[in-house]
Structure 1
Amino acid sequence: MESIKKVQVLLLDDDDDLREGMKWMFETVDLPMQGYATFDAFKNGLDEHVNSDAALCLLLDLRMPDMSGLEVFEWLKRSGYSLDRLPVIFLTGHGDISTAVESVKNGAFDFYEKPTTDQRLIERVKQALQKSGEYLVNLEVLKQWSERIDRLSPREREVMFLVAKGKLNKVIASDLDISMRTVEVHRANVFDKLKVRSAAELATLLSRLSDRLGFDQLAGLE
């Protein structure tokens, strides 16, 4: 946990005693917990947590009276919340093990059978928090790259994407109706501003960025 500066464990469970016990258990190992008794309360506070700089983990009761944990899980996915940003660990009774296993196949981080007051759950939560923290670090790296791309001129962006597609300078010159020398200058500027050394490295970078930002936002080409 050394690499994560802030952490926050979230718990959605309608059992008052369980929330109190879990809060005590996690806070004794320096893991702050925010408990929610209802989906509405959880939903209203979720964005504040997701938009913070704290690594997160959600402990989610599979069976609740108003909205089941599985329904909450599907809502999270439909609403676009990243399960890397917010790893979900289901809390389940013995009769729900098969459902919990299926949820892991569908993206949940793990599940634990109640009662869950043991060291194994604490360690698994720490691993989930580590995953969330890595997501935040990666997001910050991609943000820095996108800011570098924002500093490129429109023509440099055009050249950047054509270079990343593996096109030769003479082909780029023909496509853009500019001289070879101009292409060479733009290509050098792109490599310098983005601090990459080859077309292959540039292509890899843009592929990573497209997953987060979309080529439309970066290029204005396609």
Structure 2
Amino acid sequence: MMLVELTAPALEALPVAGLRAHLRLGSGFEMAEDEAETAALAGFLRAAIGTIEARTGKVLLARQFRLRLEDWRDPRGHPMPLAPVNTIERVEIDDGFGQVVPVDASTWRLAPDMQRPMLMPRGGWLPVVPEAGFVTVTFSAGFGAVWDAVPADLAQAVLLLAARYYEDRSFEDTASALPFGVSSLIERWRAVRVLGGRGASRRRG
């Protein structure tokens, strides 16, 4: 399985002002916000978001992904590696020799789920993937395009973790374990990540 992030959250969607307030950084009515500081805070936020998403399998800010599979885990329905999935935009099969065929959207559907969304066939099976080929699924996932759409506990966890990264920025070695407060906030969102691969037999019958 190969999962590629095709788009990234816009700077405007990141809670830079919230992190600045959390850190109690100085700002003035007549003082323009420092661009370098804003870029640095955005970097800490992106790092924190990436860590929280990796630990929970939940996408906080909506964006587009592409999933490449050598075969379906189960041709009766393939679990998506992230949640929540908003739309599956297209499914394409590559025969391994450069021929790419889109799979008719009328033959598959998204079964939404906060823990384990599924790509499901509308008939009995998902289409056969050629032995030398692969399938790609392009989809969008995330709680929303703006920070207010992110659940409050996950949003708070991001701010706490970004603040920790900010405070530890001068140290080369920092602890890889999450702070206890962050772990507690994300605990209910954690789920076992379901990976794709050649888990299902190519013979159906």
The structure with the largest helix share of the pair is 1
Q: Compare relative contact order (CA 8 Å, sep 6+) and give the higher one, 1 or 2.
A: 2
User: Under a length normalisation based on structure 1, what TM-score does the superposition of the two structures give?
Assistant: 0.26
User: Under a length normalisation based on structure 2, what TM-score does the superposition of the two structures give?
Assistant: 0.28
The structure with the largest strand share of the pair is 2
Please say which structure displays the higher CA radius of gyration.
1
